Amino acid sequence: MDSNLKKIITECPKAELHYHIDCISPELFWKFSQRNGIELPIKTLRDAIDFYNFQTLDEFLTIMLTAISSIQTENDFSDMVMDCANDMVTQNIIYREVMFDYTACYGHRGVSLNTVINGFAEGLKLAKKRYENIDIRFIANLDRTASVIDNCNYINKLIKFREEIPLIAVGMDMQEIGHPAHKQADAFALAKEYGFKLTGHVGEVVGPEGIWDALQSIPLDRIDHGVRAVEDDELLKLLAEKQILLTLCPASNISLGVYSSWWEFPIKKLMNSKVKVCINSDDPPCFHYDLTGNLIKIAETFDLSTSEVIELIRNSFIFNFAGNEHLSNVDAWLDKNIAI
């Protein structure tokens, strides 16, 4: 790979907009299991690392739910934020929007929303003390398999926590098949009334019809994944016109079989169609590529030009939910380091 391009990807300040903090590393899984006295079929950290190997989507979900079940206390949530912050500094990520799904991951087994938010707030405090130049915001993902009434109740409870952590958006995740976005339209309308930005996982496992359904029923500010829009030229035109960003996650899609190889990932067609896209890691402990790794692999596979790589990096700053307040830092770095 061109060394100039590698320098941009590794050293340029970056933002990441699609990152699930619930998907903890094997190291945190091991640490929390020990600390919380949880009985597991693993006896060492090595076992925990081996436990993360999966072949199918079902295996992936089983592994993640087992790992997530080790997360119980405020301390755990604080450690998760610090782990996220450490990783940001390692990768030169200065801004990250972090998703969490309270109902699917914690609420159903009695972990209170207070515990989650207080832990996140404590972690943020510690992270900011250790690192000056990182900005973490939170996206509360709705479990799309839950009833819309339960999700409205959840949003009503979330409101008071906006004082505690920078909670900027409401999103949606979990199984796409059988759970079209429109079923959650009332919950998103409520979130919008409260002033949240709106995003949601669509067009990952389900094709373009899932994206149409979401756009026709919910005023989404952007779309998580949305990669299968590539199968519908009309939809590509609409996304390009409305400048609705797709937060693409290539390694995730390949790991979970949406595409069978990196070569099949349709980044070129999306970019050539003028759809706004950025690159993200989704659940990096499971998919083995962080943001930097995803960018390098995509740039290598498709022989991206310097300006295409810069466009991908800048899109994460232009279309994030905090406004483009960090964009000038990126442009200053590019001006100083890159002769275009």
Catalytic residues: 204
CA 198 to chain centre: 14
CB of 281 to Zn ion, least distance (A): 9
Q: Which two tokens stand for residue 142?
A: 């709705």
Identity of the residue, 282 or 290, whose beta carbon is nearer to Zn ion in the bound complex: 282
Give the Cα separation of 203 and 230 in Å (integer): 9
Q: Note whether 97 binds Zn ion by CB under 5 A.
A: no
Number of residues that bind Zn ion (CB under 5 A): 1
Give the Cα separation of 284 and 282 in Å (integer): 6
C-beta separation of 144 from 174 below 8 A: yes
Give the Cα separation of 153 and 155 in Å (integer): 5
Q: Note whether 143 binds Zn ion by CB under 5 A.
A: no
CB of 307 to Zn ion, least distance (A): 28
Query: Torsion-angle region of residue 129: left (phi > 0), alpha (psi -120 to 50) or beta?
Result: alpha
Identity of the residue, 23 or 312, whose beta carbon is nearer to Zn ion in the bound complex: 23
CB of 201 to Zn ion, least distance (A): 6
Q: Note whether 282 binds Zn ion by CB under 5 A.
A: yes
C-beta separation of 55 from 15 below 8 A: no
Which DSSP category does 93 fall into? E
Candidates 65-73, 74-82, 277-285, 310-318: pick the segment binding Zn ion (CB under 5 A). 277-285
Identity of the residue, 87 or 282, whose beta carbon is nearer to Zn ion in the bound complex: 282
Candidates 25-33, 75-83, 123-131, 279-287: pick the segment binding Zn ion (CB under 5 A). 279-287
CA 76 to chain centre: 20
CB of 311 to Zn ion, least distance (A): 22
Return the residue nearest Zn ion (CB atom): 282
Q: Interface residues with Zn ion (CB under 5 A)? A: 282
